[in-house]
Chains A and B, each alone.
Chain A
Amino acid sequence: MTNLPPPSGQNGYQPQQPAPHLIDSPPPQVGDIAVLDAGVPEENTHFDPSDAIIQARGLTKQYGTLTALNQFTLDVPRGSIFGIIGPNGAGKSTAFAILATLLRPTSGTARVCGFDPIADPKSVRRRMGYMPDVMGVYDRLTVSEYLQFHAAAYKVPRSEWPELVDGLLQLVDLDVKATASVDRLSRGMKQRLSLARSMVHDPDLLILDEPASGLDPRARIEFRELLIALQDMGKTILISSHILAELQQMCTDIAVIEAGNLLASGSPQSILDQLGDGRRVRVTFADGSVEEFPVADTIEQAALLKRLVVDDQRDVVEFAEVSTDLEGLFLQITQGIVQ
């Protein structure tokens, strides 16, 4: 037996994602969940960090006395959909702004698409598309003019515009709105247009800051499918959200951040697996009483059932694992720290 189970690809995803590498820097103050002190050694059997499209090392951003981002270290594998989860004010936008060549960190280094976003922002911009958390629009400009403008700003040759704009509008399902005024679009449409805008120069990497906020459930599902389609096209996507369900379903990797500190990162499943001693079983008895028992794994779970039914002779009518999803995890490992 190896000392650590490899990340299980339950959602059909098997590739070279980083196993849950745990962050040593912030002190493990995350309740009674041993996310941080699992003592995982460097195990890069599946993932070589030099293949990461984003490498952040100890990024720190201070605003006066407030530490918006603290020793943020992250590897985003090429081809992944990497989700960053955190409550309001956690530092997600701050981290994204640094990676997107907008913000100068107080300390730390980063490489994005192979270039330093601070020293060589142009090279990063050529290869990276960024969608800020707020979507601004111009007035008196049509949807296709809006995209043409950004294509021009990205120095895409004029001859390529018509095909590019048509393709992007089809991709984000806005082709019927090509001649509509940008400021008349609905919020969801603006967000899709903003995504299309971030792709006018065919970047390898998309950094999307809460792209799905304010979308209705159907639009959210469509957005998710769109991002998966983009991943299939070979793009890497870094996305932030506080809506966990959507990240859980599409992300190959997830990092949890709070108050500037990275609390955990890995595949969604591996993060759930790290919650071993958080797993519980709820048992309902014939007399209607309900009890919950902590279990470490399925072996312990089977032993518990045997003990209750065979040894203790109790009338068990229902025996079920309390489902732990990321939502629960999120609430457990974050503490609602507000800076």
Chain B
Amino acid sequence: MSAVSALFQNMNPVLDRELRQRSRSAKSVMVLTLLLVSLTAVLYLVYLAWDQDNQFRDPLQNLSAGIGAIMFEVVLFAELGLLLLIIPGISASAISGERDRQTLIPLQITLMSRGSIFFGKVAASSAFVLLLLIASAPLLAIPYLQGGVSLFRISMGFLVTLVTGVLYATLGVACSAVFRRTQTATLVAYVLVVGATIGPLLAVVVIEIFQSLNGDFNETSTWPLYWNPFVGVADAAGELGRNFDSRGPFSSIKEELLRPDRNFDGFDDGFVNSSGFPRFLLSLAAQASFVGFWVFLALRKLRLPQGEID
């Protein structure tokens, strides 16, 4: 009890205030509703498509395929995609918005360090990401009840999605500190999200072309993919060795790109890469290094006194 109240006493003031304000904002309810409606629609569409596909199928094969696994992966995939769209919108105004409202200087002049101001903003955005994920968690229960996917895998997918969301919320907050105007910060945050998604794929293609030009026909190295936000979740939520038509998007990514030895046609259900390190952790670490660079820029920008004040 006293530990809880001590925690409450020492709650980051910025986080405290943001949560207060957000709880009074209709915008958060709207975003939440929109996310839930979209995910429900996705879930329903998967079900319909599956039904259509399997009308003329052998019922035995149907049983083994496991609609639950596909539903889970598609919903989580859609959720991650939607989160990546939502997060810059809610986080990239965190600090520039205060600048616009002329409330940043009065905050910076207090005894709060720039680190705790930044942390408070990240925590507030992350709390919203967590709220979105928890609110949509019941949608993941449906695939679970359909069978074909373990609770462990669902939890892993959920957790890695959460961490990915927190990383991108941090990125958005960092952008809002680095760029003076909210519009610029938001635009850059979206460019970075799209860049992180597409960039690694392009990089792999470029490497592949480069290799084949050099007459090197070995398996192409896929390490740039670790920076792709979908890849970490794919490793955690996807499953190797699945039947082609019972693979969800994450299992496909994992199968095509993350197999420890892509010439080996066996089963591997683990998260471990060839050197023994969990690949989703590698992916999160790679993304964290990218985000960390922006955090560095942001904290530098928040230092006072400064040569010029915004």
Task: Enumerate chain A interface residues (CB-CB to B < 8 A).
Answer: 63, 97-98, 100-104, 117-118, 121-122, 125-126, 130, 132, 134-141, 145, 149-150, 152-155, 158, 194, 197-198, 201
Report B93-115 residues with CB < 8 Å from chain A CB.
98, 101-112
> Which of the residues A63, A104, A126, A198 comes within 8 Å of B305, measured between beta carbons?
A104
Report B113-166 residues with CB < 8 Å from chain A CB.
none
Report B22 CB to chain A, min CB distance, Å.
Answer: 8
Q: How far is the CA of A121 from the CA of B112 in the complex (A)?
A: 12
Given contacts A138-B21, A140-B21, A197-B106, contact A149 B13 (CB under 8 A): yes
Determine if A158 and B106 form an interchain contact, defined as CB atoms under 8 angstroms apart.
Answer: no
Query: Across the interface, which residues of B come within 8 angstroms of A198, CB to CB?
Result: 106
Report B102 CB to chain A, min CB distance, Å.
Answer: 3
Determine if A136 and B103 form an interchain contact, defined as CB atoms under 8 angstroms apart.
Answer: yes
Report B288-304 residues with CB < 8 Å from chain A CB.
304
Determine if B16 and A152 form an interchain contact, defined as CB atoms under 8 angstroms apart.
Answer: yes
What class of interface size applies to chain B in its complex with A? Answer: 20 to 34
**B262 interfacial by beta-carbon distance below 8 Å:** no
Determine if B305 and A102 form an interchain contact, defined as CB atoms under 8 angstroms apart.
Answer: yes
Chain A residue at minimal CB-CB distance from B23: A140
B103, B109, B307, most chain A CB atoms within 10 A = B109
Report B63-115 residues with CB < 8 Å from chain A CB.
98, 101-112
18 CB contacts below 8 A, A to B, read: A100-B109, A101-B305, A102-B108, A102-B109, A102-B304, A102-B305, A103-B306, A104-B306, A121-B304, A125-B109, A135-B102, A136-B101, A140-B24, A141-B17, A145-B20, A154-B110, A155-B111, A194-B106
Q: How far is the CA of A104 from the CA of B309 in the complex (A)?
A: 9
Query: Across the interface, which residues of B come within 8 angstroms of A121, CB to CB?
Result: 304-305
Determine if B102 and A134 form an interchain contact, defined as CB atoms under 8 angstroms apart.
Answer: yes
**B25 interfacial by beta-carbon distance below 8 Å:** yes
The 10 A-B residue pairs with the shortest CB-CB distance, nearest first, are A136-B102, A152-B13, A153-B110, A136-B103, A140-B24, A104-B305, A140-B21, A136-B101, A134-B102, A153-B112
Given contacts A102-B305, A117-B305, A132-B102, contact A138 B17 (CB under 8 A): yes
**B243 interfacial by beta-carbon distance below 8 Å:** no
Query: Across the interface, which residues of A come within 8 angstroms of B108, CB to CB?
Result: 102
Q: How far is the CA of A63 from the CA of B307 in the complex (A)?
A: 9
**B9 interfacial by beta-carbon distance below 8 Å:** yes
> Which of the residues A117, A118, A135, A153 comes within 8 Å of B107, measured between beta carbons?
A153
Report B5-25 residues with CB < 8 Å from chain A CB.
9, 13-14, 16-17, 20-21, 24-25
Determine if B9 and A122 form an interchain contact, defined as CB atoms under 8 angstroms apart.
Answer: no
**B265 interfacial by beta-carbon distance below 8 Å:** no
Query: Across the interface, which residues of A come within 8 angstroms of B111, CB to CB?
Result: 122, 125-126, 153-155, 201
**B53 interfacial by beta-carbon distance below 8 Å:** no
Given contacts A138-B101, A141-B20, A153-B111, contact A63 B308 (CB under 8 A): yes
Report B237-260 residues with CB < 8 Å from chain A CB.
none
Task: Enumerate chain B interface residues (CB-CB to A < 8 A).
Answer: 9, 13-14, 16-17, 20-21, 24-25, 98, 101-112, 304-309
Query: Across the interface, which residues of A come within 8 angstroms of B110, CB to CB?
Result: 125, 150, 153-154
Query: Across the interface, which residues of B come within 8 angstroms of A201, CB to CB?
Result: 111
Given contacts A104-B306, A138-B17, contact A130 B102 (CB under 8 A): no
Determine if B102 and A101 form an interchain contact, defined as CB atoms under 8 angstroms apart.
Answer: no
Report B164 CB to chain A, min CB distance, Å.
Answer: 29
Chain B residue at minimal CB-CB distance from A104: B305
Chain A residue at minimal CB-CB distance from B101: A136
Report B124 CB to chain A, min CB distance, Å.
Answer: 13
Given contacts A138-B21, A141-B17, A152-B16, contact A101 B103 (CB under 8 A): no
Q: How far is the CA of A139 from the CA of B103 in the complex (A)?
A: 11
Chain B residue at minimal CB-CB distance from A105: B305
Query: Across the interface, which residues of A come within 8 angstroms of B103, CB to CB?
Result: 136-138
Determine if B304 and A132 form an interchain contact, defined as CB atoms under 8 angstroms apart.
Answer: no
Chain B residue at minimal CB-CB distance from A141: B21
Chain A residue at minimal CB-CB distance from B9: A158
Q: How far is the CA of A137 from the CA of B17 in the complex (A)?
A: 13
Q: How far is the CA of A135 from the CA of B112 in the complex (A)?
A: 20
Report A63 CB to chain B, min CB distance, Å.
Answer: 7
Chain B residue at minimal CB-CB distance from A145: B20
Determine if B305 and A103 form an interchain contact, defined as CB atoms under 8 angstroms apart.
Answer: yes
Q: How far is the CA of A197 from the CA of B306 in the complex (A)?
A: 23
Q: How far is the CA of A225 from the CA of B109 in the complex (A)?
A: 26
Determine if A101 and B101 form an interchain contact, defined as CB atoms under 8 angstroms apart.
Answer: no
Determine if B13 and A153 form an interchain contact, defined as CB atoms under 8 angstroms apart.
Answer: yes
Query: Across the interface, which residues of A come within 8 angstroms of B104, CB to CB?
Result: 136
Q: How far is the CA of A100 from the CA of B109 in the complex (A)?
A: 8
Query: Across the interface, which residues of A come within 8 angstroms of B20, CB to CB?
Result: 140-141, 145
Given contacts A139-B21, A145-B17, A155-B111, contact A132 B305 (CB under 8 A): no
Chain B residue at minimal CB-CB distance from A100: B109
Determine if B101 and A149 form an interchain contact, defined as CB atoms under 8 angstroms apart.
Answer: no
Q: How far is the CA of A224 from the CA of B5 in the complex (A)?
A: 42
Query: Across the interface, which residues of A come within 8 angstroms of B13, CB to CB?
Result: 149, 152-153
Query: Across the interface, which residues of B come within 8 angstroms of A97, CB to CB?
Result: 309
Q: How far is the CA of A97 from the CA of B308 in the complex (A)?
A: 10
Q: How far is the CA of A168 from the CA of B196 in the complex (A)?
A: 49
Q: How far is the CA of A118 from the CA of B144 in the complex (A)?
A: 59
Determine if B25 and A140 form an interchain contact, defined as CB atoms under 8 angstroms apart.
Answer: yes
A136, A139, A198, most chain B CB atoms within 10 A = A136
Chain B residue at minimal CB-CB distance from A157: B9
Beyond the given pairs A102-B108, A138-B17, A145-B20, 6 more chain A to chain B contacts, judged by CB atoms under 8 angstroms and listed by A's residue number, are A103-B307, A121-B305, A136-B103, A136-B105, A138-B21, A149-B17
